[in-house]
Amino acid sequence: MNYTLVGGFVLVLGAVLVAGLLWLAAGGNWQKHYDLYLAVEDESVAGLNLNAPVKYNGVDVGKVHDIRLDHANPQRVNLLFAIEQGTPIKVDTIAMLKTQGLTGIAYVELSGGTASSPLLGITEGNRFPVIRTKPSLSARLENVLTSALAKLDSMTTTINAVLSDENRVAFSRALADIATVTHTIAARKDAIDAGLADAARLAKNTAQASANLPPLMERVGRGADSVQTMGAEVSRTSVSAGKAVDAVSADVHRIGTEILPELQRLLGEMSVLSASLRRLSEQTERDPRGLLFGRKPVPPGPGETTDSSGTP
């Protein structure tokens, strides 16, 4: 009877131990189900191991299921996460590598995922939903230090170039020239003071002239208005003169076409009358009696005959 109880107790204890080992090997809970998500890292994942925890805002939600190098682009590492079903992995969720304290053991931290953002799904060309990644703190520090060292190296090179032997000689000469100019200015201090006083007086006179400038400009404006008015009057006078010239031109044209021909004909008749009067005057001078008794016929010359009409 005692041996049977002891045997049964050993069998039960062995079954419990086997079940516990299986439970531990399965991750502690047989009832959990996981979804697979892919993340692509562009940096080194040194320190990250399989089954490393995946945390969402510090809460364990899964583990690293697989780590593989991207054969198409060796600069990238493909990480496959096994995340508990029901975890709200959103489109704007971001994965980032972090380290735990001073041990250097890496894990994956998920962040982001606003309430209004949709759940992350499988896109075309991918087997799993792809979670976006962000450079880790160590990667960002490395980039900043690399950039700072590059700038420091460039600055050192520039300083070495500036502080060359030739530039040092040039700087020495420049300092000597500056000292000479300083001594010259100190020696001409009185002249400089006088020049500054003259400049102050000139500025004062300029200010007074500026104060008197608005009334002058007003007078100039009034003069300009007067000139404009006079110009308008001259313009109107020019129009009237143009009309008068047009009228005179019409009268001249009428004189040339109507009066001048009549005047020329009258002058011709007066010329004929003048010639007739001149002949009459000459005849009267030769024979005054001709006005009363008429003109006597001229006696025929030798060999001429006189017809009945008295005409030779």
Does position 38 have pLDDT exceeding 90, yes or no?
yes
SS3 label, residue 65: strand
Highest mean pLDDT among 53-62, 219-228, 263-272, 299-308: 53-62
Determine the Cα–Cα distance for residues 26 and 100; give it in Å rounded to an integer: 24
Measured in degrees and rounded to the nearest 5, phi and psi for residue 118 equal -75, 160
Does position 63 have pLDDT exceeding 90, yes or no?
yes
Q: What is the pLDDT of residue 311?
A: 44
Q: What is the pLDDT of residue 274?
A: 72
Does position 140 have pLDDT exceeding 50, yes or no?
yes
The token duo for 28 is 């502690």
In this structure, are residues 94 and 112 in contact, taking their beta carbons and an 8 Å threshold?
A: yes
Determine the Cα–Cα distance for residues 122 and 129; give it in Å rounded to an integer: 4
Q: Look up tokens 């040092």; give the residue.
A: 168
Categorize the per-residue pLDDT at 309 as very low, low, confident or very high, splitting at 50, 70 and 90.
very low
Does position 305 have pLDDT exceeding 60, yes or no?
no
Q: How many helices (H) and strands (E) does the chain have?
A: 6, 7
Share of the chain above pLDDT 70, in %: 70
The domain locations on the chain are 28-134, 164-237
95-104, 108-117, 243-252: least confidently modelled range: 243-252
Does position 151 have pLDDT exceeding 80, yes or no?
yes
Q: Helix H segments across 81-188? A: 137-162, 165-187
| Cβ-proximal residues to 43 (8 Å cutoff; 6+ apart), any chain | 77, 97, 135, 136, 139
Handedness of CA 21, 22, 27, 30 (dihedral sign): negative
Categorize the per-residue pLDDT at 81 as very low, low, confident or very high, splitting at 50, 70 and 90.
very high
Beta bridge partners of 53: 63
SS3 label, residue 27: coil
Categorize the per-residue pLDDT at 204 as very low, low, confident or very high, splitting at 50, 70 and 90.
confident
Q: What is the mean pLDDT of the chain?
A: 78
Share of the chain above pLDDT 90, in %: 18
Q: What is the pLDDT of residue 109?
A: 92
Q: What is the pLDDT of residue 13?
A: 85
Categorize the per-residue pLDDT at 220 as very low, low, confident or very high, splitting at 50, 70 and 90.
low
Q: Look up tokens 């493909």; give the residue.
A: 78
Determine the Cα–Cα distance for residues 298 and 275; give it in Å rounded to an integer: 23
In this structure, are residues 130 and 41 in contact, taking their beta carbons and an 8 Å threshold?
A: no
In this structure, are residues 81 and 96 in contact, taking their beta carbons and an 8 Å threshold?
A: no
Q: Which residue has the higher pLDDT, 185 or 270?
A: 185
Q: Count CB atoms within 10 A of the CB of residue 120.
A: 20
| Cβ-proximal residues to 17 (8 Å cutoff; 6+ apart), any chain | none
The token duo for 83 is 């995340």
Q: What is the pLDDT of residue 77?
A: 93
Q: What is the pLDDT of residue 237?
A: 64
Distances from the Cα of 292 to the Cα of 135, 206, 258, angstroms: 155, 108, 44
Does position 310 have pLDDT exceeding 90, yes or no?
no
SS3 label, residue 295: coil
